Amino acid sequence: MLRPVRRLPSRPSTGFAVSAVIGCLLLGGCSDAPTFRPDPLLVADQQLEPPRVDTAAAILTRLFGTPDHPKAPPVLAGLLDQSLLAEAAGPVASHTPGVTTGLYRRHCASCHGITGDGAGPAALYQHPYPRDFRQGVFKYKSTYRDAPPTQEDLATVLRDGIANTAMPSFALLTDREITALTQYVRYLALRGQAETALLQRLQQSRDASVNGQTPGESIDDADWAASELLPRLANTWREAHQSIVPVNQDWQAATSEAWDAAVAAGKKLFHDTRRANCVECHGPAGQGGTTLNDHDLWNKRVHAFDADTERMAALYQTRTQELQQTPPQRQALLEEQLAALGGQLDRRRATATALLPARLAEPRVLTPGSLRGTHTPQDLYRRIQQGIAGTPMPAAGNAAAERPSEMSEQELFQLSAYVMHLTGMPRAESQPATPAPRTNH
């Protein structure tokens, strides 16, 4: 007998959510130590069974510890400092006047979540969503597009905040507190990348055993993570400092006439559909008015998941109709397949209710103050040359040191000059005015 596919509510109802919160608070259930949450999208998409998910969680706990007691794996020495992680992790507390621990939970978790998945309690109504650290992809940095950020890149975002978003400036924190937080963000990113690779490996080994394939070289998953996966990730992050994009331009040196000429040339490139073609997304003179039917990396995975779920639902409907025409002697097999498909569909729909709804990417309207995470001409030059990692904004230059550039340095300079003209960015190298950090310990 076919199990009907439940049409789950699209989102938790008001009564359910409020009752859950009140019940949780009254029963004191929310005071248990928090744990890292396995990526529900990957688990559902890869159809991983609970024992495999538990295996991955156990390996990650052994390597990376817990939200209250993080560990810096030895292979990540130099990238993660255990004492700074301890300062950033755990509940908010103070055992020495002026020294606060639990910095991540104090300043970050309500938006970025305990797991760094960008789905903290306050995430839903923010525009854009808080960053999901688990892919190790960060938008505003000094390195090549596919390279991780440096520690200083992360510290800059913390100190300056990101204007026109919910990300505040943490300029009032001490240097040590900023460093501890950047370490913890890097920790969450590395852990997230390790989790993604581990879940993928578990899926592959499951598929191989289902298909009766004999695996080649057999190595325990935990050993593989420690001896192969983490060193590979560590090398990528260690090389970030060698991946800083050089900027050999001087915006102040140009005379007024040369600058005006650069702005005019940049305007031409901006609107040239065969060259930079910025107008396609940013609109004429960067004033918007276009609709981009694309997503950034973080929303694309949700969009793709939803699309696959809908395709699966359509397939289920089709197969259900086919069942009507199937001879009775073959119905049992089809019913079994439909039941499995229905179960998968239920799980995917349940997972979808826990994901933040996918949003389309929004190309920036280039007006004064509109640029995010971009304060100097050097920053702007890098955004144009590298594009913005994780977003549909492509690289106009070479996205890696060894790749050729589509546009020359002079053309990139001209484009930056035009965007500076549109957004009112001064030619002098200046940083945003931020208060001096506290030095109370």
Of 32 and 217, CB closest to other proteins: 32
Distance CA 108, CA 110 (A): 6
Q: Which two tokens stand for residue 225?
A: 């993570």
**Site map 345..364 versus other proteins, x via CB under 8 A:** --------xx-x--------
Distance CA 104, CA 108 (A): 5
Of 165 and 320, CB closest to other proteins: 165
Return the number of other C-beta atoms located less than 10 Å from residue 90's C-beta. Answer: 20
**Bridge partners, residue 65, by sequence:** 70
Identified binder of other proteins from the candidate list 12, 74, 231, 426, rule CB under 8 A? 12
Identified binder of other proteins from the candidate list 120, 266, 363, 390, rule CB under 8 A? 120
Q: Spell out the residues 6+ positions from residue 243 whose beta carbon is closer than 8 angstroms to its own.
A: 143, 144, 147, 148, 401
Please report whether residue 274 would count as binding other proteins according to CB under 8 A: no
Please report whether residue 174 would count as binding other proteins according to CB under 8 A: no
Helix (H, G, I), strand (E, B) or coil at 62: helix
Of 1 and 428, CB closest to other proteins: 428
Per DSSP, the residues of 245-272 read PP----TTTS-HHHHHHHHHHHHHHHH-
Please report whether residue 14 would count as binding other proteins according to CB under 8 A: yes
The interface with other proteins within residues 85-104 (CB under 8 A) comprises: 91-95, 97-98, 100
Please report whether residue 153 would count as binding other proteins according to CB under 8 A: no
Distance CA 31, CA 232 (A): 37
Identified binder of other proteins from the candidate list 11, 238, 330, 403, rule CB under 8 A? 11
Minimum separation from the CB atom of position 104 to other proteins (A): 9
Please report whether residue 135 would count as binding other proteins according to CB under 8 A: no
Q: What is the DSSP letter of 143?
A: B
Distance CA 425, CA 266 (A): 15
Of 96 and 256, CB closest to other proteins: 96
Please give the size of the binding site for other proteins, defined by CB under 8 A. 63
Please report whether residue 123 would count as binding other proteins according to CB under 8 A: yes
Please report whether residue 303 would count as binding other proteins according to CB under 8 A: no
For 285-301, give one letter per residue: b (16+ CB within 10 A) or e. bbebeeeeeebbebbbb
Please report whether residue 114 would count as binding other proteins according to CB under 8 A: yes
Using the contact rule CB under 8 A, the part of the chain among 137-145, 254-262, 273-281, 428-436 near other proteins is 428-436
Distance CA 249, CA 384 (A): 13
Q: Where are the beta strands (DSSP E) in 199-339?
A: none
Binding residues for other proteins, rule: CB under 8 A, are 11-12, 14, 17-18, 20-21, 24-25, 28, 30-31, 34, 91-95, 97-98, 100, 105-107, 109-110, 113-114, 119-127, 160-172, 353-354, 356, 367-370, 432-435, 440-441
